[in-house]
Amino acid sequence: MSGQDQPRGEGNNADAEQNAERAAKAGEYAATMEQPLLSHLKELRSRLLKITGVVLIAFLALYPFRDNLYSLIAGPLQEILPEGTSMIAIKVASPFLIPMKLALVAAVVITIPYILYQIWAFVAPGLYRRERRLVWPLLISSTSLFYLGGAFAFFVVFPIAFRFFAFVSPEGVQMMTDIGEYLSFVLTLFFAFGVAFQVPIATILLVRTGVTTREDLAAKRPYVIVGAFVLGMLLTPPDVLSQVLLAIPVWLLYEIGILLAGRPRLVGDKDSKQAARGS
């Protein structure tokens, strides 16, 4: 009996040692996994604090000029208002809150390049070299097109739209626009045209990464035109003119994107060239 119990005791001790070793390894693995996660969270917190600080500085710099900013934004509408009329505020706090909201939005728009840089700095370590080479041109072109879309809305769309609204107003109806409603309308169109002007970037990326070809995109042109009007319906206020003024540039930008998508592929070009040299 004692001879049989001794091997059982040794076996139990060996199993206990193996279990303890496995538990120790599992603890070490969990610790190594927690360290990168904690470091990523700390870095993310640092990036967010930097973004918040820069936006706050820009907001404080723009705040004294909040009334001038609103007068600038309201210019296209005030030009077509009948003489002796002006915009109104239907809420008590609107004359204070609306210009302050505009200053905050302007601060975010101005600091978009810095915000994108902080996002890039956070994700760059996890990207391949060819992906990092692609990001900078992508960020610069995307930001520029966003600003261009906002400028197109302000200098082209707003004057046309407001003159049209004034022209179709029923006789005896006087335009007295609320400053809050006007700001919401303007910001919606700014955002809509800024996003719509990203179409060439999306088209070029789809072709150069090999997802599709220029011929396929050209063949799908009728669907894109319909989609442009659907996009205009979703992104713009519910009036036909704004939808048309957004849909037509989206279609034209789609055509420009097809023309600019020169090479059929971007990913793997370098590898294919090296393989050709080796053969």
**Rg for the chain, CA atoms, rounded:** 29
CA distance 235 to 191: 8
Token pair 């915000």 in the structure block, residue: 115
Asked if 262 and 204 touch (Cβ cutoff 8 Å), the reply is no
The pLDDT of residue 272:
43
**With helix as H, strand as E and coil as C, how does the chain read?**
CHHHHHHHHHHHHHHHHHHHHHHHHHHHHHHHHHHHHHHHHHHHHHHHHHHHHHHHHHHHHHHHHHHHHHHHHHHHHHCCCCCCCCCECCCCCHHHHHHHHHHHHHHHHHCHHHHHHHHHHHHHHHCCHHHHHHHHHHHHHHHHHHHHHHHHHHHHHHHHHHHHHHHHCCCCCCCCCEHHHHHHHHHHHHHHHHHHCCHHHHHHHHHHECCCCHHHHHHCHHHHHHHHHHHHHHHCCCCHHHHHHHHHHHHHHHHHHHHHCCCCECCCHHHHHHHHHHC
CA 64: distance to chain centroid?
28
Split into its structural domains, the chain has a count of: 1
The pLDDT of residue 25:
53
The answer for residues whose C-beta is within 8 angstroms of residue 98's C-beta and 6 or more apart is: 70, 89, 179, 180, 183
Q: Does residue 180 form part of some domain?
A: yes
The pLDDT of residue 130:
75
The pLDDT of residue 124:
79
**With helix as H, strand as E and coil as C, how does 50-65 read?**
HHHHHHHHHHHHHHHH
Token pair 């070009």 in the structure block, residue: 269
Q: Does residue 99 form part of some domain?
A: yes
Local confidence pLDDT in tens for the 279 residues of the chain: 445 555 555 555 656 666 655 655 555 544 444 557 788 788 889 999 999 999 999 999 999 999 999 999 999 988 888 777 788 999 999 999 999 999 999 999 999 999 988 988 888 777 777 777 778 888 888 999 999 999 999 999 898 888 888 887 787 777 788 999 999 999 998 998 998 899 998 888 888 778 888 888 888 888 988 888 888 888 777 778 878 888 888 899 998 888 887 654 444 444 444 444 444
Q: Does residue 20 form part of some domain?
A: no
Let me know how long the chain is: 279
Q: Does residue 168 form part of some domain?
A: yes
CA distance 22 to 75: 72
The pLDDT of residue 220:
87
The pLDDT of residue 135:
80
Q: Does residue 27 form part of some domain?
A: no
| Parent domain of 207 | 39-267
The pLDDT of residue 17:
62
Q: Does residue 69 form part of some domain?
A: yes
- Note the pLDDT tens digit of each residue in 89-147: 999 999 999 999 999 999 999 999 999 889 888 887 777 777 777 788 888 889 999 99
Q: Does residue 33 form part of some domain?
A: no
Of 147, 125, 150, 131, which is closest to residue 43 (Cα–Cα)?
Answer: 125
Q: Does residue 5 form part of some domain?
A: no
The pLDDT of residue 22:
62
